[in-house]
Amino acid sequence: MKISLLGKKIGMTQFPEEGKFIPVTAILITPNVVSQVKTLEKDGYNSCQLAFQECRTKILNKSRLGHLNKSEISPYKHLQEARDMTGFSVGSQLNVSLFQEKEKIKVTGTSKGKGFAGVIKRYGFALGAMSHGGGPVHRSIGSAGGGRGTRQKVPKGKKMPGRMGGEQVTVSNLLIVKILPEKQVILVKGAVPGNKKGLVKLSKIVKE
């Protein structure tokens, strides 16, 4: 079974441990509410839909409001499904007590958008020669053709300039250093994806 919670990345700080400071990311976990439950018998798979961050009614569309009103739940800004999560009913409030210190978790978020980037920034290509012999363009992709037998087509999957970042990223094996129950904050060591104030999902596998 999987346990998941939605949270907001609120920034980085340091946590003292064993005579040294550990860099950690602080994630705010205000109570998550289960807004929908799907079962294997009825829907073909098990899941819980999590609602996070209460908001004003007027910022939600009618379909979102209708969905929440059906479950008798107040307006929430974010809804996200957590697959293979069972054992909870609609309206259940979930908080940081579902996680423990010193355990490994998986964090999913949207990576920082970098805009349109070249291959050197995007994939780590090498620079061309910076002398006159290197040509007028020093940051080009080089040859893009497919060589013999390909009719000089650009092969599929060729690494080229394009939009970088702004994609869903999952980072595994991040360590929970400290849990602050009174502040509903979890301190995580490791590369938590996304911008400050971005939405992230924390998950762990629970052996039944």
Neighbours of 28 (CB within 10 A): 19
Range scoring the smallest mean pLDDT among 37-46, 72-81, 137-146, 173-182: 137-146
Question: Does residue 170 have a pLDDT over 90?
Answer: yes
CATH class of 2-113+168-205: mainly beta
Let me know the angle formed at the C-alpha of 184 by 68 and 193, rounded to the nearest 5 degrees: 80
pLDDT of residue 150: 61
Question: Does residue 66 have a pLDDT over 70?
Answer: yes
Sign of CA dihedral 120, 125, 127, 129: negative
Q: State how far the Cα of 59 lies from the Cα of 54, in Å rounded to an integer.
A: 11
Q: How confident is the model at residue 117 (pLDDT cuts 50, 70, 90)?
A: very high
Phi and psi of 70, rounded to 5°? -60, -35
User: Which whole-number Å values give the CA distances from 170 to 72, 94, 201, in the listed order?
Assistant: 32, 22, 9
pLDDT of residue 154: 83
Output 152 or 137, whichever has higher pLDDT. Answer: 137
Q: How confident is the model at residue 137 (pLDDT cuts 50, 70, 90)?
A: confident
- pLDDT tens figures, 91-102: 999 999 999 999
pLDDT of residue 68: 94
Q: State how far the Cα of 28 lies from the Cα of 15, in Å rounded to an integer.
A: 16
Task: Please enumerate, as own/partner, the contacts of 118-127 that have beta carbons within 8 Å and a separation of 24 or more.
Answer: 118/161, 119/159, 119/160, 119/161, 121/164, 122/159, 122/161, 122/162, 122/164, 123/159, 125/159
pTM of the model: 0.85
Q: State how far the Cα of 117 lies from the Cα of 159, in Å rounded to an integer.
A: 12
Domain coordinates in residue numbering, the chain: 2-113+168-205, 114-164
134 secondary structure, DSSP code: G
Which residue, 34, 31, 29, 61, is CA-closest to 50?
Answer: 34
Q: How confident is the model at residue 131 (pLDDT cuts 50, 70, 90)?
A: confident
pLDDT of residue 4: 95
Instruction: Give exposure, 74-87, as e/b (b: 16+ Cβ within 10 Å).
Output: ebbeebbebeebbe
pLDDT of residue 44: 94
